[in-house]
Homo-oligomer: A and B are copies of this chain.
């Protein structure tokens, strides 16, 4: 398969994310543009190109779906991204919220050998520092966690296994309430009116919003 540009790789990665998260396996031009912080016109041009190259399927005014080669390429980039995040976190002592930005650059380094050696060096990790699964060399990865903190009942406990929102802003907030990967959260109360929750982590109580709770995956 021919070499993709840095830009093309980013489109495929974004498309995989959107089509996966929509549940329907499809995406729209504007949706993609918003996600990538570009104009719809720009995205439109690229879609034509990705279609010509056989990565995606779409027709004028229709929805975009990914074809197998596009999926594989996108998964490969996600694998690299998450391996680098793991490296930064585990070996270079970066914090949870710092890794993403640098990994956005590192994920585009072209060297199959590098990826496999890095995976070996890290002892073939299955999850990145945010709890997201790292696809293996065949593109297979563990099913993503589906239950969020907002679904946990009053008085129940749950273990945080991942976050949905990987933004630095959110991650700082999460750390602010003393919460980290694999921590146990107890739901103390929920207000019906505005869904504000009181949670307890390591004996510390905090008030969190519905939005917050929906961005914390638990088991």
| Residues of A near any B CB (own CB < 8 A) | 88, 91-94, 98, 101-102, 105-106, 109-111, 113-114, 117-118, 121
* Given A92-B117, A94-B113, A102-B114; 6 other pairs, CB 8 A cutoff: A88-B114, A91-B121, A93-B117, A102-B109, A102-B111, A105-B110
Q: A109 and B114 in contact (CB under 8 A), knowing A91-B121, A92-B121, A121-B92?
A: no
* Copies of this chain, tallied across the complex: 2
CA–CA, A121 to B90, complex, Å? 11
In the complex the two chains form, is A109's CB within 8 Å of B105's CB?
A: yes
Q: How far is the CA of A126 from the CA of B93 in the complex (A)?
A: 22
A109 contact set on B, CB distance < 8 A? 102, 105-106
With a cutoff of 8 Å between Cβ atoms, the chain B residues found around residue A88 in the complex are 114, 117
Q: Name the B residues within 8 Å of A117 (CB-CB).
A: 88, 92-94
The interface residues of chain B lying within 8 Å CB-to-CB of A121 are 91-92
Q: Write the nearest CB–CB distance from A124 to chain B, whole angstroms.
A: 14
Cα-based distance from A131 to B98 in the complex (angstroms)? 33
How many Å from the CB of A137 to the closest CB on chain B? 16
Report whether A92 and B118 are in contact in the complex, using a CB–CB cutoff of 8 Å: yes
Complex: A94 Cα to B121 Cα, angstroms: 12
- Residues of B contacting A110 in the complex (Cβ-Cβ under 8 angstroms): 105
Q: Which residues of B contact A94 (CB under 8 A)?
A: 113, 117
Q: Which residues of B contact A102 (CB under 8 A)?
A: 109, 111, 113-114
